A and B are shown apart, each in its own frame.
Chain A
Amino acid sequence: MNPYIMNPYTKIVRVIVQSCFVWLTTMSLPCAGENSELIVNPLVSQLMQSQPKMVKIYGAGGMKGLESYQSGFLISKEGHIATSWSTVLDSTKIRIILSDGHKTTAEMVGMDPQTEIAVLKMEEPTESYFTLDAASLPNIGDRVFGLSNLFGIATGDESVSVQRGVVMAVTPLSAKRGRMKTLYQGRVLVLDVMSNNPGATGGAIVDLDGRLVGMLGKELRDDQTNIWLNYALPMDVVSGSIRRIFDGKTESVGRTDKLVPSKRPHRVSSLGFSLLPDVLAKTPPFVDQISPKSIAQRSGLQVNDLILLINDQRVDSRRSFEELLATIDRADNFSLLVQRGQDLLRLEIRP
């Protein structure tokens, strides 16, 4: 038997003890004063401590079905922010609002296409941030809290929304029959609360002690059952991704140096494909057409592929793809990471 199926029963007692303890502490207070409940409720004060670590993120979108906002949390004194890698970040200017209402902007440090986690950095340092601990893994049945700006309810200095839930399962996303349409197929924490709403992605999951134990993922709906999944990426996955982004080991390090164009570079046209017309500030580099018997076709590139990386460097627009391509000598091989449907494919382009 799958141990994860039995495990909830083992944890029920613990959950009741945990949740009721907090609750009882609130309830059983003598009426010392009208504000006494507020001061000593440990859950309230714990959640108040988590709030300054949360940020509201605004960027591209706002069109039909695509929100222009999402959630994130601070992870370093230098002002690094962990969030979901999404179309919201496809903006020349990523706007950040801190919990006290302070407005600033952030730059993309890098992203991990496997987990769809991105790290941003805002200009100013911060005193409030979550410590990343890969060992902070909740058990099935544990009480957790989701902090996110779902539905964009909070603006300015307003606190992000808090929801309470229980970890129902720890299981690979790919285990779902019929499979959700998602790039990430690894382990997730399945939650019993309606957490993964618009704008919630990138939000924090904390435990009763206020420790960061996961990051809320993107909205996922099963096409067949019309069921929405509420889930979070577990901390080992989140911290692993962030560490790889920091270490530059992930494929996704953004370019920092000045690009040196090759004298005899590759060109999109000579490789035998074309991209969607460049109409936006950051037009996603989707493959529009492929010429028969071209290098592109021979290498396995297909129409509607979205190019994410070229030689492990992040491509955030058609323009940046063309700039990066122009640095590679036309005699050299290079690699592409493309998203095709819900799969990630690595293609080797050999001229």
Chain B
Amino acid sequence: MCSVAEEVAVRIAVEPSSIVLQAEAVRIQAIAKASRSTVGVFGIDGQGGGSGVVISEDGYVLTNYHVSDPFGNRMRIGLSNGEMHEAVIVGIDPTGDLALLKMEGRTDYPAATILDSDKVRVGQWCFASGNPFVLATNLQPTTTWGIVSGVHRYQYPSGTILEYTDCIQTDAAINPGNSGGPLYNGDGDLIGINGRGSFEKRGRVNVGVGYAISINQAMLFLGHLKSGRVVDHATLGFTVTSDDKGRVIVSNILESSDSYRRGLRYGDEILALANRDVTSVNQLKNILGIFPSWTRIALRFKTADSTVDTYVRLGSLHTPAELNEIITGKPLEGPPTPDRIPPNKDTPDKDIPDKDPVPPSDQDDPTKSQKALPPPIVDPMKDVFESRKGYGNYYFNRREIDRITSTGSHGSESNSKWPPNLKWDWSGAVAGESTSFRFLSQPKEMSMTLGDTTTPLDPIRGWANSIDSQALQSPALAIELWQRWNSIGPRAMGECTYIGTTPVIGYQEWQDICQVTTGEVESFFYTSPATHRIVLIEIQSDRRQDRLEVYFDDYQMTELMGLNGSASESTSRFLPKRIRSSFGPGTPMVIDFTKVEVSEEKGSE
């Protein structure tokens, strides 16, 4: 021990090595970069306080649902440079504890760099950024440094409805007020949204275990959140259990589920979901939990005699009534609503989202900093909120429908709307066969000819019957819907809801999806975010049966005569050269179009 003093003297005299200083400089840079995207979330009166992160330059902000919920529809966002901006709620995901907010008026908001959080590994450095304990009156975020303690974690709902699936666990300090704020990797790139800790007997402060919703999950939900809806998580329509060999086995299945229609039965073994191996019940919940309802994902299962690869459409985890109960604050049966437990209450509940220490009504809290906050400098939020049941903010649903039906962004006249009241004549043949195909459509009558058989179709009635009986002429109904979408537009067709973005088999990029109630049937339009062209139309009559799926492929510039009221003048338009039609993901009937003729229908004017 006598050498300790000498050792001290020697070591203190040592200059920090350049590698240390360099590392420190890199770290400072990463934190500085990341801090710019971290925001404080306050009530419209400046009270309360949670955290959030800017994810796009046009002002979208992600935070926790349990942070935004007490604040209502409008709130204030404090940027790290001290500016206060007003924001509105856009969409909420009460189950996954996410809320999307929007600031308006600028296109240079400091957006975070978003990383693929599936590449995060245990042991990597990370840091949480936010406003714990509402410490920062100047809105400068607090940084807490740590490592990734676990990935792909599953955390039970645990007395609340908030279920954390596939989340990232960190030992970076997560305290009240950090909720909704970003978790960054060591480079300052966004990997998650902090929101929960394992709180037990040590009280509701950092216990060395914090959880962040993976940014990948948030991105999978982003399209849905932008719809302004109360978005829902998914169910597969079956439950599983693990047997003594650790296999994940179907223990119960709904006959009305898509999985059942794809051949899954009681006792079958689940091997993979969304192309990820299923090795435990938790893992299945992890994979399922990151997808919104409506998503169609790959499923691999093993029956007694074969292995099946298929796709299943995920159903909604809650009924609309249940979701409404959640957001209106009425308790569901049993578990208490989240975010209503005072910070110092000695509660044995574990894994409850950290609570913001300053509820909006708390007048006596010394950490309250609202008097020091500057007034908002931007208030372009007028008319950016529209209340409607089932929506966080219906205004954004209308805005998204405007976007996907617009033609301006991709420019040319060749994508522009078609005039209404046209007479259409599609001719072609079934691929690989000599059977000819023809679809004639006028505003008041339609007919489809396949080979020698011509079937008249009613523009309104009899659609449900055609779909239910999986009639041969069903594809013509989808072509008719294609025409209507591109002429009169979805709003004139029926009640129309923008759902979000969702994967479509055969497409890398997720497609926009819009639901339209068209007479007797429900129709689902999948359009390309880039070109706004329809790639798929689905028609559903009976929810227990497979939908008609008609893919519109191989769009090509086509010369058309007879538009613009002149028979001699030609116009160029993009038209699909092929459709693939099937009920469910079965073998499709493929029709190649050889000729499309369009003319003004004089009689109806």
Taking Cβ atoms with an 8 Å cutoff, the residues of A that contact B are: 3, 6-7, 9-11, 13-14, 16-17, 20-21, 23-24, 26-28, 34-35, 37-38, 41, 43-44, 46-48, 51, 101, 103, 145, 150-151, 153-164, 193-195, 197-198, 221, 228
In the bound complex, do residue B26 and residue A27 qualify as a contact, i.e. CB atoms below 8 Å apart? Answer: yes
User: Does B24 count as interface, using CB distance less than 8 angstroms?
Assistant: yes
Distance to closest chain B CB from A183 (angstroms): 20
Complex Cα–Cα for A18 and B74 (A): 47
Distance to closest chain A CB from B598 (angstroms): 47
User: Does B466 count as interface, using CB distance less than 8 angstroms?
Assistant: no
Choose the segment among B146-154, B256-264, B489-497 that binds chain A (4+ C-beta atoms closer than 8 Å): B146-154
Which single residue of chain A is at the shortest CB-CB distance from B147?
A: A164
User: Does B123 count as interface, using CB distance less than 8 angstroms?
Assistant: yes
Choose the segment among B203-211, B214-222, B467-475 that binds chain A (4+ C-beta atoms closer than 8 Å): B203-211
Chain B residues positioned under 8 Å from A101 (CB to CB): 246, 279-280
In the bound complex, do residue A3 and residue B1 qualify as a contact, i.e. CB atoms below 8 Å apart? Answer: yes
In the bound complex, do residue B207 and residue A197 qualify as a contact, i.e. CB atoms below 8 Å apart? Answer: yes
For the A-B complex with A34-B116, A158-B153, A162-B147 known, give 6 more contacts whose Cβ atoms are closer than 8 Å: A10-B4, A145-B123, A159-B151, A163-B146, A163-B208, A164-B171
Task: For the complex of A and B, list the 8 residue pairs with the smallest distance between their C-beta atoms, beginning with the closest.
Answer: A194-B208, A20-B23, A156-B280, A24-B23, A47-B123, A44-B123, A163-B171, A151-B198
Complex Cα–Cα for A310 and B256 (A): 64
In the bound complex, do residue A6 and residue B17 qualify as a contact, i.e. CB atoms below 8 Å apart? Answer: no
Complex Cα–Cα for A16 and B23 (A): 10
In the bound complex, do residue B279 and residue A6 qualify as a contact, i.e. CB atoms below 8 Å apart? Answer: no
Complex Cα–Cα for A161 and B5 (A): 38
In the bound complex, do residue B119 and residue A34 qualify as a contact, i.e. CB atoms below 8 Å apart? Answer: yes
User: Does B11 count as interface, using CB distance less than 8 angstroms?
Assistant: yes
Complex Cα–Cα for A51 and B8 (A): 36
In the bound complex, do residue A44 and residue B12 qualify as a contact, i.e. CB atoms below 8 Å apart? Answer: no
In the bound complex, do residue B171 and residue A28 qualify as a contact, i.e. CB atoms below 8 Å apart? Answer: no
Chain A residues positioned under 8 Å from B30 (CB to CB): 27
- Chain B positions 125 through 165: 1 when the CB is less than 8 Å from some CB of chain A, otherwise 0: 10000000000000000000011111111010000000000
Distance to closest chain A CB from B147 (angstroms): 5
Taking Cβ atoms with an 8 Å cutoff, the residues of B that contact A are: 1, 4-5, 7-8, 11-12, 14, 16-17, 19-20, 22-24, 26-27, 30, 116, 119, 121-125, 146-153, 155, 169, 171, 186-187, 198, 200-202, 206-209, 242, 246, 279-280, 282-283, 350-351
Distance to closest chain A CB from B243 (angstroms): 12
Chain B residues positioned under 8 Å from A3 (CB to CB): 1, 4
Complex Cα–Cα for A101 and B116 (A): 26
Chain B residues positioned under 8 Å from A195 (CB to CB): 208
In the bound complex, do residue A155 and residue B282 qualify as a contact, i.e. CB atoms below 8 Å apart? Answer: yes
Which single residue of chain B is at the shortest CB-CB distance from A196?
A: B208
In the bound complex, do residue B124 and residue A41 qualify as a contact, i.e. CB atoms below 8 Å apart? Answer: yes
The verdict on A194 contacting B209 (CB below 8 Å), with A6-B4, A17-B20, A164-B171 known, is yes
In the bound complex, do residue A159 and residue B150 qualify as a contact, i.e. CB atoms below 8 Å apart? Answer: yes
Complex Cα–Cα for A155 and B242 (A): 12
Distance to closest chain B CB from A200 (angstroms): 9
Chain B residues positioned under 8 Å from A21 (CB to CB): 19, 23
Chain A residues positioned under 8 Å from B207 (CB to CB): 194, 197
The verdict on A24 contacting B26 (CB below 8 Å), with A43-B123, A46-B123 known, is yes
Complex Cα–Cα for A24 and B27 (A): 9
Chain A residues positioned under 8 Å from B27 (CB to CB): 23, 27
Which single residue of chain B is at the shortest CB-CB distance from A51?
A: B122
Complex Cα–Cα for A27 and B22 (A): 10
In the bound complex, do residue A197 and residue B119 qualify as a contact, i.e. CB atoms below 8 Å apart? Answer: no
Which single residue of chain A is at the shortest CB-CB distance from B30?
A: A27
- Most chain A CB within 10 A, of B20, B146, B350, is at B20
In the bound complex, do residue B280 and residue A157 qualify as a contact, i.e. CB atoms below 8 Å apart? Answer: yes
Distance to closest chain B CB from A61 (angstroms): 14
Distance to closest chain B CB from A1 (angstroms): 9
In the bound complex, do residue B208 and residue A23 qualify as a contact, i.e. CB atoms below 8 Å apart? Answer: no
In the bound complex, do residue A20 and residue B208 qualify as a contact, i.e. CB atoms below 8 Å apart? Answer: no
Q: Looking at the complex, which one of B5, B20, B150, B282 makes contact with A162 (CB distance below 8 Å)? A: B150
In the bound complex, do residue A27 and residue B124 qualify as a contact, i.e. CB atoms below 8 Å apart? Answer: no
Complex Cα–Cα for A103 and B280 (A): 13
Q: Looking at the complex, which one of A27, A38, A103, A193 makes contact with B186 (CB distance below 8 Å)? A: A27
Chain B residues positioned under 8 Å from A145 (CB to CB): 123, 147
Distance to closest chain A CB from B505 (angstroms): 25
Distance to closest chain B CB from A274 (angstroms): 34
Complex Cα–Cα for A10 and B119 (A): 37
In the bound complex, do residue A159 and residue B200 qualify as a contact, i.e. CB atoms below 8 Å apart? Answer: no
In the bound complex, do residue B124 and residue A26 qualify as a contact, i.e. CB atoms below 8 Å apart? Answer: yes
The verdict on A156 contacting B279 (CB below 8 Å), with A48-B123, A228-B202 known, is yes
Distance to closest chain A CB from B438 (angstroms): 50
In the bound complex, do residue B246 and residue A103 qualify as a contact, i.e. CB atoms below 8 Å apart? Answer: yes
In the bound complex, do residue B4 and residue A161 qualify as a contact, i.e. CB atoms below 8 Å apart? Answer: no
Which single residue of chain B is at the shortest CB-CB distance from A7?
A: B4
The verdict on A197 contacting B206 (CB below 8 Å), with A23-B125, A24-B26, A27-B186 known, is no
Chain A residues positioned under 8 Å from B350 (CB to CB): 151
Some 30 contacts from A to B, beta carbons below 8 A apart, are A6-B4, A9-B8, A10-B8, A10-B12, A13-B12, A16-B16, A20-B23, A24-B23, A26-B124, A26-B186, A27-B186, A37-B124, A41-B121, A43-B124, A46-B123, A48-B121, A48-B123, A101-B280, A151-B209, A151-B351, A153-B155, A155-B282, A156-B279, A156-B282, A157-B280, A160-B150, A161-B149, A162-B123, A194-B207, A197-B208
In the bound complex, do residue A16 and residue B20 qualify as a contact, i.e. CB atoms below 8 Å apart? Answer: yes
Complex Cα–Cα for A145 and B147 (A): 10
Complex Cα–Cα for A17 and B246 (A): 44
Distance to closest chain A CB from B75 (angstroms): 32
In the bound complex, do residue B16 and residue A26 qualify as a contact, i.e. CB atoms below 8 Å apart? Answer: no
Chain A residues positioned under 8 Å from B119 (CB to CB): 34-35, 37-38
- Most chain B CB within 10 A, of A14, A47, A160, is at A47
In the bound complex, do residue A158 and residue B282 qualify as a contact, i.e. CB atoms below 8 Å apart? Answer: yes
Chain A residues positioned under 8 Å from B169 (CB to CB): 153, 161
In the bound complex, do residue A44 and residue B11 qualify as a contact, i.e. CB atoms below 8 Å apart? Answer: no
Distance to closest chain B CB from A68 (angstroms): 14
The verdict on A161 contacting B150 (CB below 8 Å), with A43-B123, A155-B282 known, is yes
- Most chain B CB within 10 A, of A3, A35, A164, is at A164
Q: Looking at the complex, which one of A24, A155, A159, A164 makes contact with B146 (CB distance below 8 Å)? A: A164
Chain A residues positioned under 8 Å from B201 (CB to CB): 198, 221
Distance to closest chain A CB from B153 (angstroms): 6
Chain B residues positioned under 8 Å from A9 (CB to CB): 8, 11-12
Chain A residues positioned under 8 Å from B146 (CB to CB): 163-164
Q: Looking at the complex, which one of A27, A41, A44, A150 makes contact with B187 (CB distance below 8 Å)? A: A27
Q: Looking at the complex, which one of B22, B148, B153, B200 makes contact with A153 (CB distance below 8 Å)? A: B153
Distance to closest chain B CB from A100 (angstroms): 9
- Most chain A CB within 10 A, of B1, B198, B206, is at B198
Complex Cα–Cα for A17 and B21 (A): 9
Distance to closest chain B CB from A168 (angstroms): 14
Complex Cα–Cα for A150 and B279 (A): 22
Q: Looking at the complex, which one of B14, B22, B124 makes contact with A24 (CB distance below 8 Å)? A: B22
Distance to closest chain A CB from B473 (angstroms): 49
Chain A residues positioned under 8 Å from B7 (CB to CB): 10
In the bound complex, do residue B19 and residue A17 qualify as a contact, i.e. CB atoms below 8 Å apart? Answer: yes
Complex Cα–Cα for A153 and B187 (A): 27
In the bound complex, do residue A44 and residue B282 qualify as a contact, i.e. CB atoms below 8 Å apart? Answer: no
Chain A residues positioned under 8 Å from B23 (CB to CB): 20-21, 23-24, 27
Chain A residues positioned under 8 Å from B24 (CB to CB): 20
Q: Looking at the complex, which one of A7, A20, A150, A153 makes contact with B20 (CB distance below 8 Å)? A: A20
In the bound complex, do residue A44 and residue B186 qualify as a contact, i.e. CB atoms below 8 Å apart? Answer: no
Chain A residues positioned under 8 Å from B17 (CB to CB): 17
Complex Cα–Cα for A24 and B246 (A): 41
Which single residue of chain A is at the shortest CB-CB distance from B125?
A: A23
Chain A residues positioned under 8 Å from B150 (CB to CB): 153-154, 158-162
Distance to closest chain A CB from B237 (angstroms): 24
Which single residue of chain A is at the shortest CB-CB distance from B153?
A: A153
Distance to closest chain B CB from A265 (angstroms): 42
Chain A residues positioned under 8 Å from B125 (CB to CB): 23, 26
Chain B residues positioned under 8 Å from A161 (CB to CB): 149-150, 169, 209
